[in-house]
Chain A
Amino acid sequence: MTDVPALPPVTPAVAEVRSPQIQIDVRSVDTALFGWEWIRRLAGTSWVAADRTELADQLRRLTCRLVESLGAEPFEPSTAIAIGEDLVGIGFDSPDALARTTTLLTQRLLSDLGLVVDPEAGDPDRILLPEWTAVQNAAADRARAAMLGDRLAELVGMLSLGFVRGVRDRTLAQQEAIRTSALLAWQRALAEQREAALHDPLTGMLNRTGFAERLARLTEQSPDGVIGACLLSLDGFEALDRGLGRETGDRLLSEVAARLAALFDGEHELLARVSRDQFLVVGIDGNQASGPGDDGIRRQAAAQQVIAEPIMLVDRPIVLSTSCGLLARPVGHSDSDRILQDVDLAGSWARQRAPGGVAVFESTRAARQIGDLALTADLPAAIESGLLLPYYQPIMSLRSGRIEAVEALARWPHAAHGLLTPDRFLPVAERAGLITTLDRAVLGRACRQAQIWRAALPRTPVTIAVNLAAVRLADRRTVRDVVAVLEQTGLPPELLQLEITEHAALDAPETLRIIRDLAACGVGLALDDFGTGRAHLAQLAELPEHGVRTLKLPADFLRRPTGGGAIAEDPSRVRVFAAIIDLAHGLGMQVTVEGVETPGHDALVRELGADLAQGLHYARPDTAAAIGALLSADHPGMQG
């Protein structure tokens, strides 16, 4: 027993026993009962997933190991470390479990197993170790008992060490596990969120962002291909959405998406839903010089066809038509944003065309449309600053050969685009809601100019003709505006002729009221562009009584629709022309013919009895100064 640390003497008698022999036969002690007591004490301290009998047996085995360690020669206290770890391994891992275990072991292990007899319970002088029945020496017994007590204390200490170590390892392992799981879950949620951001939740198709990402990947794989994009817009879907409800709209869209997904396998094409009612099919095709190519056309036709199949709703079939914008472009030529933007544009052209329309992207048309945007930006300032100003074109009296009137025509000398005519900027102004502003500005300038000329030509004043946009004839403020301009400029009303367009709703009571009110102000009224708009002949009869006394016939009457040849050689057209002039005269209206460009035209309109004419044959539209010079030549009495 050289390994046993020197023990302090418990009693002087111990000194006689230098090396007490401890031999314990584990089989002879009742560890099972102790196991049951142990499990009873640990009840509720920890969650252990096992039956009580099984646990009692496991604790019995731990007891056996403790007893073996207790009696082992040489004594190895560190063997109890593993016992503490195993206690945690079984599942008793709470602080409570350790406290109760150490209490139980120190208080009860030796006595319960009969290794020592509690002196209080039995003969205080007699400590019995059953295995050592041969030993009769009470002093030696006491020494051995004391040594057992010391050994147990050491074992309990080591067991606690093992227990704490086990708990710490388990805690760290669980913390690591939950942190790993949390991180994984976080990464996964992030990936899902990212994936969701790339997809349309309704159909599961790629959205715009997702499309851009996938297209980039696809083009990387085939740098020599041609991107064929096909934008499918469901015609009139907004109305369906409103009429049937959004939920039904969603069902229709899901069905369309399912059909497209069945049609295009997704391996060769990308499918995306890029807005509520727009789907995009993009494929990388073999080398093609330009144009949508066979693959593009095939995709477009197949898609339009598959969408056109009736979709059965509960109570009715719905048939959808699709407009389609097409684009083909070599890979690397433009990024996905640009492709989306351009195919969007082509899609808008297709929709303008007709339901089921198809349009191919053209760069010149796109450039023009983009130019319009720049014009829109410049237009307000151009109007405000007076940069956009009227040019003037004389209107000749065919009888006198003199300038009877001057028509104000808006012109915009644009720094970048040169002199722009209304056909270029009026649609822009209309889209930008600037028509009224533009009309007012031109009217004001023209009337001021007319007043200047009137002052210069007091005896033979010329009428100023100013165009009035269709929207102005539906606007009550127009009458006020005209009156205000006349008042501000001092121009007599009879020297102003407002040219109203046939494109206005001339049969609308409100429009007719405005026309009558304008006539009542004393200004002259002319119907412009006759025969090109929506007025019909029946209405023509009413106009003179509303104060419209002039009919302007557009240049179309002087031209043959298909190519060249003089109008005079086309007897039928001449007959129609003549009849309309006669008709106007019959209604008490005078006739102005526009677009007279040649001596032949001039001869014809004179022959047919037109009253007035304007056109390049007489003078082109020009600045106020240039026309002022013409006027003074025409009217020799002109001053200034």
Chain B
Amino acid sequence: MDQLPEQLPDWAPDGVDLTRPSAARMYDYYLGGAHNFAVDRKLAGQALALFPDGQLIAQANRAFLHRAVRYLLGQGVRQFIDIGSGIPTAGNVHEIAQKVDPEARVLYIDHDPVAVTHSELILRDNPFARVLEADLRRPKEILAAPIVTDLLDLTQPVGLLMVSVLHFVSDSERPEDTIAEFRDLFSPGSYLVISQGTGEGRQAETTKLKELYRSTSTPVTYRTREQIRALFDGWELVDPGVVWIPEWRPDWPDDVGPDPASTVMAAGVGRKP
């Protein structure tokens, strides 16, 4: 594509509606990226007005992903499914994993077509990392996709990463069933990694944030730490269980900070027995 139009066309087919803010691109903005458009920055700006430490929370969440992936690598996991992978940002799962094992497999899944296309461009030359456009809210599409079995060896453990994504799945979409379907598909020694917004504490702000995200294609559903624990049904929770994101196996004691609950996001890792 030598010539890019000054502006993208006004009209866009379903799924590529650039007049609607995208959660993936807003998250990129929180992390300081420029993979976003004015419409994303506008809503993200409103979210940051509610959560002035929103960038720190996004960074803490990203750091949790890193620690979790490194932990899983330490447990011998060499295959990952990252659901809700969003816009690829520096230090993606495949970069961490392939630094340890150049042939580590990573399957990214997102429902945002722009994020997926961007991932494809980045992964163009990487034979062991692929991306699938699918919606976690329709797990059958994911499980039926040939790429899952093409890329991954399901007789070997898989790390299922649902980092900062389940708050975009409502209770009526039964994420517990989706997780159970994956669990049944995976071999023992596989891992489930979850981080998600709890809505616990900072009540006024989280309520308003939920309102803000209504205009995106991904409305928000909070889950308390107790509810997140319940999502690990059938998995053995790894120490320290479901905790605020900075508290999960911090690299440095002072990484936790004085008030980890202020991140309002909790995380946990479970192992399939």
Taking Cβ atoms with an 8 Å cutoff, the residues of A that contact B are 44, 46-52, 91, 93-94, 170-172, 174-186, 188-190, 192-193
Contact = CB atoms under 8 A, between A and B. Distances in A.
B62 A178 contact: no
Contacts of A48: 90-91
5 contacts: A48-B91, A49-B91, A183-B4, A189-B113, A192-B13
Contacts of B35: 174-175, 177-178
B118 A186 contact: no
A525 B20 CA distance: 77
A189 B12 contact: yes
B66 A182 contact: no
Given A48-B91, A193-B14, 11 more contacts: A44-B59, A47-B59, A93-B32, A179-B8, A182-B37, A183-B1, A184-B121, A186-B8, A186-B13, A188-B113, A189-B14
B134 to A, nearest CB: 14
A185 B114 contact: yes
A184 B117 contact: yes
A180 B14 contact: no
Main secondary structure of the interface of B (DSSP, over half): loop
Contacts of B5: 183
Nearest to B66: A49
Nearest to A178: B35
A181 B16 CA distance: 10
B157 to A, nearest CB: 24
Nearest to B56: A44
B142 interface: no
Nearest to B70: A51
Nearest to B91: A49
Interface of B: 1, 4-5, 8-9, 12-16, 18, 25, 31-37, 55-56, 58-59, 62, 66, 87, 89-91, 95-96, 113-118, 121, 251-252
Contacts of A174: 33-35
Nearest to B116: A185
Contacts of A93: 32
Given A49-B90, A52-B251, A178-B118, A189 B32 contact: no
Contacts of B12: 186, 189
A186 B35 CA distance: 16
A218 to B, nearest CB: 28
A374 B180 CA distance: 65
Nearest to A171: B34
A181 B37 contact: no
Contacts of A49: 62, 66, 89-91, 95-96
A398 B123 CA distance: 101
Contacts of B113: 185, 188-189
Contacts of A47: 31-32, 58-59, 62, 89-90
Contacts of A178: 25, 34-37, 87, 114, 118
A189 B8 contact: no
A406 to B, nearest CB: 71
Contacts of B31: 47
Nearest to B89: A47
Contacts of B9: 186
B114 A181 contact: yes
A182 B18 contact: yes
Contacts of A179: 4, 8
Contacts of B32: 46-47, 93-94
Contact of B16 (A51, A172, A189): A189
A178 B24 CA distance: 12
Nearest to A167: B34
Contacts of A176: 4
B90 A91 contact: yes
Contacts of A172: 34
Nearest to A181: B118
B16 A186 contact: yes
A50 B91 CA distance: 8
Contacts of B37: 178, 182
A185 B110 CA distance: 13
Nearest to A49: B91
Given A177-B121, A178-B35, A51 B13 contact: no
A111 B43 CA distance: 44
Contacts of B8: 179, 182-183, 186
B34 A180 contact: no
A178 B55 CA distance: 20
A477 B207 CA distance: 70
A181 B87 CA distance: 10
Nearest to B1: A180
A52 B252 CA distance: 9
A182 B16 contact: yes
A93 B34 CA distance: 11
A3 to B, nearest CB: 38
Nearest to A186: B16
Q: Which 3 A-B pairs have the closest CB atoms?
A: A49-B91, A181-B118, A174-B34
A178 B116 CA distance: 11
A341 to B, nearest CB: 31
Nearest to B255: A52
A265 to B, nearest CB: 22
A226 B90 CA distance: 59
| Most chain A CB within a 10 A radius of its CB, from B34, B91, B113 | B34
Contact of A185 (B16, B66, B89): B16
A181 B117 contact: yes
Contacts of B36: 178
B34 A170 contact: yes
A119 B270 CA distance: 57
A221 to B, nearest CB: 30
A189 B11 CA distance: 12
A456 B153 CA distance: 104
B83 to A, nearest CB: 19
Contacts of A91: 90
A174 B5 CA distance: 16
A181 B18 CA distance: 12
B189 to A, nearest CB: 26
Nearest to A170: B34
Contacts of B66: 49
A193 B15 CA distance: 11
A94 B37 CA distance: 18
A192 B133 CA distance: 13
